[in-house]
Amino acid sequence: MAAITIIDDDAGFRESLAETLVDFGHVVTVFDRAVPAIEAIAGGCPDLVFLDLRMPGMDGIAALRAIREMRPEARVVVLTAYATGENTIEAMRLGAFDHLTKPVGREALAELLRGALRQAVAGPVVEAAVPGTIIGASPAIRDVQKRIGLAAAGEASVLILGETGVGKELVAAAIHRFSARADKPFVAVNCAAIPADLLESELFGHERGAFTGAVAARRGRFREAAGGTLLLDEIGDMPLATQAKILRVLQEREVTPLGGAAVKIDARIIAATHQDLQALVARGLFRADLYYRLAVIPIAVPPLRERGSDILLLARHVLEALRPGHPPRLTEAAERALLAHDWPGNVRELRNTLERAVSLTPSGVIEPGDLALQGKVEAKASTNLPEAVAATEIALIRAALIRAQGNRTEAARALGISRQALYDRLKRYDLETMSDFPTPPVGSSDGAG
């Protein structure tokens, strides 16, 4: 039995959550405002706190900061009906145990309690930082946002993994922006784009006259990142000889410029690659000791095809960026085409596709043909009729749920089917979790479903 505090101004959700927690055998105290709850926590820290993000008066982030400053041992789960990359990262960076999107199912709640009530509290509070730019609310990308927040609170090396075009450099930049090093340089170097014979000079620097053509001294990227963060992008393409020197830098925290003496460095190291480093280690193409030194905090960035409704969120963001204030509009058919595409080039391909469509569409309305994806989708769909029907139904259901903000009743009405028929299809296509779609507003007739 645990002592649990709920801080939430939504009476319906608060009472439902409290009832479930009592059913699980816990003692629950509820508050509809942050200030009196904080005063109570000052007198005795509960085993777990559920904290709403949006409340009148003191909001959840301010309350989380106050609780963690007063009670560093507190385990706080932040709740919101409107998850964004910024509030997820900020909550985790400030030491939240987790960040959940409402509604929270009974099984998910039970799993959370098992972890929260047996694990130690997170690290100390860090002051607020500039918001990140990781867009999306799907479960896959929210896991990344949480890891960014946790990684930003420390100094350990980070290894970012993911296919080409998923945004690995954006993840590295977000870790830097939310870290205590945010006011220092963020330096990125693409190890695959620099010839092997120049890579060491690029990274470690050189003195004047160190080799033919060295007419001036060069500081090198490690020293350029002094006090800040150095991203070694595509480190899987780094030659073995250079890998050995990188390992020594990480161990000794110093670099030796070509033709010069050793110099101490102070830079956090983040590495990224699209390659399977463990497979390269097995083949003798990547040093195992360097891999383990880099992968203290691994972050796997999911491909776009696994990010559900993020495809349309990203599309709208790109369109707004291309034409601020007057973004082109995607038709429903165009949205379906975007959702049905596999996106082998990931976010980079999506951005290029939309930029081309905007350039070639003066009307301000983007149709499927403007995306130049129709042929690819049809060619794939035509190979197997049952698969084509399933893919079409999934795309239609996703689009309807996104437009309805996750409300199943409205989505079923828009699709022209009964709510039960929609439930049957959600189960058939393994789309039952609503966390892949925007949560319905408080007071919606749809409920948790």
How many degrees, rounded to 5, is the angle at CA 21 between CA 55 and CA 81? 30
At 1 the pLDDT is 74
Element holding 186 (H helix, E strand): strand 186-190
pLDDT tens per residue across span 237-272: 999 999 999 999 999 999 888 877 888 999 999 999
Do the domains at 3-128 and 149-302 have one common CATH topology? yes
At 74 the pLDDT is 85
Question: What phi and psi, each to the nearest 5 degrees, are found at residue 356?
Answer: -65, -45
Q: What is the residue extent of each domain of the chain?
A: 3-128, 149-302, 305-436
CA distances from 18 to 7, 21, 188, 379 (A): 11, 5, 48, 52
Enter the pTM of the model.
0.61
The CATH code that applies to domain 149-302 is 3.40.50.300
pLDDT tens per residue across span 353-411: 999 888 877 667 888 888 888 444 443 444 556 766 777 777 778 777 766 767 788 78
Residues 6+ apart with CB under 8 A from 88: 99, 142, 145, 146, 149
For the ranges 57-71, 147-161, 365-379, the lowest mean pLDDT is seen at 365-379
What single string gives the DSSP state of each residue in 81-100?
SS--HHHHHHHHHTT-SEEE
What single string gives the DSSP state of each residue in 369-388?
HHHT-HHHHHHHHTT-HHHH
The CATH code that applies to domain 3-128 is 3.40.50.2300
For the chain, what is the mean pLDDT? Answer: 82
Question: What phi and psi, each to the nearest 5 degrees, are found at residue 77?
Answer: -105, 120
User: Quick one: fold of 305-436?
Assistant: Helicase, Ruva Protein; domain 3 (1.10.8)
